[in-house]
A and B are shown apart, each in its own frame.
Chain A
Amino acid sequence: MKIRVEIDDRLNEDEEEVVIRCSSLSEEVMMLQKQVSEIVSSKLKLEVFKQDTVLYLKPEEILFLETADNFLAVHTAKDIFSAKQRLYELEEILPSSFVRISKSAIVNIATIRSVKRNITGPSEIEFEGTVKRAYASRNYLKQLMNRLEEKRLNK
């Protein structure tokens, strides 16, 4: 596979793009796409609100995002903010470390300390350095555990 970088001075930062030209969607291409999107989304800063203050959060600061009370709550270790986007919109732009754990919540697996499994109900997720908890519903638990295992093996 050839790698080519074209530099065009006329482009703005928001016009920059990465195009992968390939004959088929192979595993290698998918891996490449994942890596590129990881780098791109790591630059992302999420616009959030606390009363009349606008803040810009790095994804790694976020523990989980949850829709409740008709607003999107963004949880960090010590605070709660609101975001204007919808949960599915953020799911698309956030890095791959963000995994859906229920219909109304997405969690950052990089911040998870433990998952207390519960066969009859939602499983409790604990985070590093905070008392906050999130709950993974049974439908999404397998996917979460797979992603955690994937993360562990990659380390």
Chain B
Amino acid sequence: MKARRILFGVGLLALAGGLVGRKMGIIPYIDIPTIILGVVCVILIGDGLKHRNFFLILLPLAFIASRLVFAYSGHTVFEAMGIAAIAAAGLTVLFGKKRKSIGSRNRGYINYNGTWGNNGAPGQPGGFGGAGGQGGAGGTGTEIDKNRFVQQPGFRSNGEPVQDNFGYPDDDGDNVVIENGFGKLTRYLHSSNLKKVKIDNGFGNCIVYYDNVYVDQDGSKLEIDNGFGQVDVYIPPFYRFKMKQDNGFGSINVYGNCSMDPNAPLIDADIDNGMGKVNIYFG
């Protein structure tokens, strides 16, 4: 959140500076829409730097440059942005990060030294995730070194493998991370011991259903970081709900009623919303 606040702060300062400069005649050819677009560009550049996204850095930069620096040189905005897009593609090929899945990532944990047996089956040689696995110990399961975890999908943080459900999608594990950039993403959560859900949405529409979810006895965390898009989260009404919100220029809405039973598991939400919309539905 701190970084986003700094971005908004810098953006607003740039807007104020632009307006003063225009009033004083220092930059007389800039109109107000350009200044506002410039501020949006500054925010996008900040986001691009944060996520090392060359398109998000160079395209707004090209827009600003074409409107301010090359305004009288005969170059159009489209020419500048076209050049920037090609350059960004080149930089992405050379220095870009590995492509993340736009959909969602699930996280579980497993001991990396391979002491896991295959569901504790007797005599199964080799465990998941590492060479030199020793296999399961006589059907009683295996010991888990909790200090030596690496993340693997399909496993819980206590080392248990998640179970498949008949006629239903696989269990997501107890920690779920959902990331959405642009476009629409719908995600149905299935977990028998949910501890944490993290939703990171940029410009798109992200819909998350607590479909077949059993929240951990100690409660579950829900972290939402929304930029300019919309996030809808559907939570069953039999959970308690606590919310900490940090809203910029967008809106955070809650529909329906959560449980008031003090014994019901608690979902502790931390919502950071920039200019988008976050809706929490109980039902």
Interface, chain A (partner B; CB < 8 A): 49-52, 54, 66, 68-71, 73, 77-78, 80, 82, 84, 104, 121-122, 130-133, 135
Partner of B165, one of A52, A73, A78, A133: A52
B165 touches A51 (CB 8 A): yes
How far apart are the CA atoms of A69 and B186 in the complex, in Å? 7
Q: Does B282 contact A (CB under 8 A)?
A: yes
Q: A80's contact among B166, B211, B255, B281, by CB below 8 Å, is which?
A: B211
Q: Are B188 and A68 in contact, CB atoms less than 8 angstroms apart? A: yes
Is B168 a contact of A68 with CB atoms below 8 Å?
A: no
- Give chain A residues whose Cβ lies under 8 Å from the Cβ of B282: 131
Chain B residue numbers with a CB within 8 Å of A52 are 165-167
Question: With an 8 A cutoff between CB atoms, is B262 at the interface?
Answer: no
**Taking CB as reference atom, which chain B residue is nearest A77?**
B283
A2 to B53 CA separation, bound complex (whole angstroms): 70
Name the residue of chain A whose CB is nearest to the CB of B283: A131
Count A-B pairs with CB separation below 8 Å: 57
Which among B167, B209, B211 has the highest number of chain A CB atoms within 10 Å?
A: B167
Please tell me if the beta carbons of A78 and B188 are within 8 angstroms of each other in the complex.
no
Produce 1/0 per residue, B159-171, CB < 8 A to A: 0000001111100
Are A49 and B232 in touch, CB under 8 angstroms? no
Residue B184 at the A interface, CB < 8 A?
Answer: yes
The chain A residue with its CB closest to the CB of B103 is A69
**B105 within 8 Å of A by Cβ?**
no
Interface CB pairs A-B, < 8 A, 16: A49-B166, A50-B168, A51-B168, A52-B166, A69-B169, A71-B188, A73-B211, A84-B167, A104-B186, A122-B184, A122-B205, A131-B255, A132-B234, A133-B281, A135-B184, A135-B205
A69 to B283, Cβ gap below 8 A? no
Is B187 an interface residue, CB under 8 A from the partner?
Answer: yes
Task: Verify B212–A50 contact, CB threshold 8 A.
Answer: yes
Q: How far is the CA of A104 from the CA of B169 in the complex (A)?
A: 17
**CB interface residues, B 127-178, toward A, < 8 Å:** 165-169
Which listed residue, A50, A54, A69, A104, touches B187 by the CB 8 Å rule? A69
